[in-house]
Amino acid sequence: MVLTRSQARTFYDRFGEKQDAQGFYEDAALGDLIAHAMFEQAEGVFEFGCGTGRLASRLLANHLPASARYLGIDISQTMIDLAYKRVSPYEERARVALSDGSMSIPLPDCSVDRVVSTYVLDLLSETDTDQLVSEAHRVLTPNGKLCLVSLTKGKGIVARVVSGLWSAIFRLHAPVVGGCRPIRLESFISPQFWAVEYRNVITQFGVPSEVLIARPVLNAQQDIEIGRAGRAHR
Ligand SMILES: C[S@@+](CC[C@H](N)C(=O)[O-])C[C@H]1O[C@@H](n2cnc3c(N)ncnc32)[C@H](O)[C@@H]1O
């Protein structure tokens, strides 16, 4: 069973900056995401479950244009306090906010060009993940990108053993593994709504992570509406 929102909040309020120590298995996958998500061309980034703000500060310092805006939300006040310190040098364009844990993204339609979430979908229920992915589709601009990283199931022997053990521990007592379990991101990305631009599985210290970048596919009605809006601005 996945953690309830209140259990997730309590866990991450206590876990706090220990989250950064997970970099030993996360960093290679995060590096792969950054290498393929073209953050240099982004104007607005939204991050769901920003944690300590480690990725945000890396993006703001090294990858985003100086004019790009960033908004991160998290269910844990401890995480938001830590993230606030990390993004405060960029306070004119970067903001973090405490959320109630719901899947709604507090942004208008078509308003950001990157929706990022790393090592968060693996602790959400399938229903919540579907809802978050659909919210991402709503807020992304037509050329925007959904940028995800998550624990996944491994292919090599070591990765299969590690992800199998991880899943077993999750089933026994989810808080031991922070409520996270290996999932397959691609299974939440319907080809009707998304075009997958990049997908990779990276294993670091035996722990496999899936990196997935997808852009929204517009239906005919949305194409017409965006065309109309574009013409109205000319
Ligand atoms: C495993 S940590 C990952 C943090 C960060 N994204 C990273 O890669 O280091 C999961 C994060 O998701 C947050 N989280 C869990 N459930 C959430 C929800 N329903 N809404 C927003 N944040 C949530 C937790 O508080 C925690 O900061």
Q: pLDDT (tens digit, 9 = 90+) per residue, 50-98?
A: 999 999 999 999 999 999 999 999 999 999 999 999 999 999 999 999 9
* Pocket lined around ligand 1, Cβ cut-off 6 Å: 5, 8, 12, 19, 49-51, 54-55, 73-76, 79, 99, 101, 118-120, 123, 178, 180
Give the angle 174-147-60 at the CA atoms, nearest 5°.
105
Å from CA of 74 to ligand 1 middle: 6
Q: Probe ligand 1: pick from 75, 126, 185, max atoms within 8 Å of CB?
A: 75
Smallest CA separation from ligand 1 atom 5, residue: 51
Smallest CA separation from ligand 1 atom 26, residue: 51
Left, alpha or beta for 163 (phi > 0: left; psi -120 to 50: alpha)? Answer: alpha
Å from CA of 119 to ligand 1 middle: 7
The pair of structure tokens assigned to 200 is 């990779």
Strands 69-74 and 94-98: parallel
Smallest CA separation from ligand 1 atom 4, residue: 51
How many other β-carbons are positioned within 10 Å of the β-carbon of residue 7?
Answer: 15
pTM of the model: 0.92
Give pairs for 164-169: CB < 8 Å, separation 24+: 166/207
Question: For residue 120, what pLDDT is reported?
Answer: 97
Of 143, 105, 129, 101, residue with least CA distance to 186: 129
Smallest CA separation from ligand 1 atom 19, residue: 101
Q: Which CATH number fits domain 5-233: 3.30.43.10, 3.30.450.20, 3.40.50.1820, 3.40.50.150?
A: 3.40.50.150
> Of ligand 1's atoms, which has the minimum distance to the CA of residue 149?
8
CA distance 211 to 202: 8
Q: Where are the domains of the chain?
A: 5-233
| Per-block mean pLDDT, blocks of 10 residues, the chain (234 long) | 93 92 92 98 98 97 97 98 97 96 97 98 96 98 97 86 84 81 95 97 94 89 59 50
Tell me the DSSP string of the chain.
Answer: -PPPHHHHHHHHHHHGGGGGGGHHHHHHHHHHHHHHS-GGG-SEEEEES-TTSHHHHHHHHHTS-TT-EEEEEES-HHHHHHHHHHHGGGTTTEEEEE--S-S--SS-TT-EEEEEEES-GGGS-HHHHHHHHHHHHHHEEEEEEEEEEEE---SSHHHHHHHHHHHHHHHHHGGGGTT-----GGGG--TTTEEEEEEEEEEETTEEEEEEEEEEPPPHHHHHHHHHHHHHH-
Q: Probe ligand 1: pick from 4, 100, 120, max atoms within 8 Å of CB?
A: 120
CA distance 22 to 35: 20
Å from CA of 121 to ligand 1 middle: 8
> Of ligand 1's atoms, which has the minimum distance to the CA of residue 180?
1
What phi, psi does 180 have (nearest 5°)?
A: -95, 145
Question: For residue 62, what pLDDT is reported?
Answer: 97
